[in-house]
Amino acid sequence: MNRELAVAFPHVYCELDFTNPLELAVATILSAQSTDKRINLTTPALFARYRTAADYAGANRTELEELIRPTGFYRNKADSLIRLGQALVDRFDGQVPASMDELVSLPGIGRKTANVILGNAFDIPGITVDTHFGRLVRRWGWTEETDPVKVEFAVGKLIERREWTLLSHRVIFHGRRVCHARKPACGVCVLAKDCPSYGTGPTEPQVAAQLVKGPETEHLLALAGISERR
């Protein structure tokens, strides 16, 4: 199934915009209960104002809250960012560390955020269990676990370590574009023949085609033998 996903999504990537590990850490913290699109609209002004861990450590709370207000839960997130900046300055010379144990010791960073940072900022393989990832691997029968950490370890036993980051992106892309929570596009899914949950959504190709989202839509429909949506 991972190979089929690689064909469906040959160019996967972190959909949060960033240029360095600190920006990715901040963007990932902000992404909780929000969307990547919303975060990417918010972070340009934020990153222009706060460039270093010391900037976050010394941030004016009211100003920071106002900048991140569109992401939701902005007071809690502002607190996490200020405390993150302080911890990085106090313990890591202002730099984002590149190990799981050190990352999860920081305010606002759990295993999911740490794996995002490791995989995308440091090229260290990690499995990112967000809501899409957990939902899909359970639909596929890869695990029955619901706890994200248990899901991470269960899937890690099935897939080669070097594939972990790419697998995470592929599964998340598939969940956002094809295998939706309420009505998956089963009729045009590249995994249809292997999926034990096939039929959860529409199986008629033209009906399912209407459900596909994202810039890869034309490619995904072509793989399903559909030249255009009617």
76-91 pLDDT, tens digit each: 999 999 999 999 999 9
Instruction: For residue range 3-32, list pLDDT tens digits in order.
Output: 999 999 999 999 999 999 999 999 999 999
pLDDT at residue 6 in the model? 98
- Integer Cα distance of 164 and 2 in angstroms: 10
Is the model's pLDDT at 230 over the cut of 70? no
pTM over 0.85: yes
What DSSP string runs through 7-56?
HH-SS---SS--SSHHHHHHHHHHTTTS-HHHHHHHHHHHHHH--SHHHH
Is the separation of the CB atoms in 140 and 197 below 8 Å? yes
Identify whether the C-beta of residue 124 lies closer than 8 Å to the C-beta of residue 130: no
**pLDDT band (50, 70, 90) for residue 190:** very high
Element (H, E) at 105: none
Task: Say if residue 224's pLDDT is above 80.
Answer: yes
Q: Which residue has the tokens 């144990």?
A: 101
> For tokens 């004016």, what's the residue?
60
Handedness of CA 81, 164, 209, 142 (dihedral sign): negative
Tell me what the mean pLDDT of segment 148-166 comes to: 98
How far apart, in whole angstroms, are the C-alpha atoms of residue 184 and residue 197?
10
Place of tokens 């699109």: 37
pLDDT higher than 80, residue 229: no
Active site residue 130: yes
Residue 37 pLDDT more than 90? yes
Asked if pLDDT for residue 68 goes beyond 70, the answer is yes
Which is catalytic among the residues 36, 55, 79, 130? 130
- Alpha carbon 63 to its chain centroid, in Å, reads 27
Burial class of residue 4 in the structure, from the number of CB atoms within 10 Å of its CB (0-12 exposed, 13-18 middle, 19+ buried): middle
Tell the residue number behind the tokens 């759990």, with chain if given. 110
pLDDT interval class at 130 (50, 70, 90): very high
Q: What is the pLDDT of residues 39-66, one digit of tens each?
A: 999 999 999 999 999 999 999 999 999 9
Q: What is the mean pLDDT of the chain?
A: 97
**Is 77 designated active site?**
no
Report all structural domains of the chain as residue ranges with CATH numbers, in order of start: 2-10+127-177 (1.10.1670.10), 21-121 (1.10.340.30), 186-223 (no CATH)
| List 112, 123, 147, 213, catalytic entry | 112
CA–CA–CA angle 23, 29, 33 (5° rounding) = 135
Residue 228's pLDDT is what?
Answer: 72
| Pick from 165, 159, 160: nearest CA to 120 | 165
